[in-house]
Amino acid sequence: MINTVCVFASSCNYLDETYYTAARELGKLIGQADMDMVYGGSCLGLMWACAENVKKNGGRIIGVMPEKLHEMDVYSGYCDEFFLTPCMRSRKAKMDELSDALIALPGGFGTLEELSEMIVQKQLGYNQKAVVILNTSGFYNRLLDFFDEIIEQKFANRNAQNLYFVADTPQQAVEYLKNYIPSDNSVKKEDIYAR
């Protein structure tokens, strides 16, 4: 059962309204599903649009922020729990430790890096967490095409497609989490080294 969802998302306040609407809806659905949310701890962008609505709908929000960002005074102040970490790497480790699943909303390089690491963690069998890519307005289409190219050119095994789920709507994302059954999709030696 999934109790806590880690959400990776943009911290930008100047995106198309479509993205904020989807983030707010996702937060509402997470809260209504009696799930809590782990996120970057800020009061900005899609991450805050989602977190604020988790809290409004009965869920708890847990912030994890590196010291450098905390010094920029972007901490939301509304977190039910808050963890300060020395750096981005330790932040990701803490977010991973605190969550049962993750959803990547549209975001920049930080979101892409966080999502990629979690896919690799699952690929290597370090966890069996649900990994969801929320593809609002087709934001991730070209990245997903690139994932297909990676697999097509044999830089990853075909089974890698089972490591993540692509949701077009917040409803699809939360329904997937509600029904998620962990399975071992980790890479075996023969997947990498066999012809």
* Residue range 73-114, pLDDT digits in tens: 777 789 999 999 999 999 999 999 999 999 999 999 999 999
The answer to whether 71 touches 33, Cβ cutoff 8 Å, is no
CATH class of 4-179: alpha beta
Complete edge-to-edge strand list for the sheet that includes strand 36-39: 81-85, 61-66, 36-39, 4-8, 101-104, 130-134, 165-167
Specify the residue for token string 């590196």.
66
Q: How confident is the model at residue 192 (pLDDT cuts 50, 70, 90)?
A: low
Q: How confident is the model at residue 28 (pLDDT cuts 50, 70, 90)?
A: very high
Which is more confidently placed, 195 or 48? 48
Predicted TM-score of the model (pTM): 0.94
- Each domain of the chain, given as residue ranges in start order, spans 4-179
CB-hemisphere CA count at 13 Å for 174?
A: 22
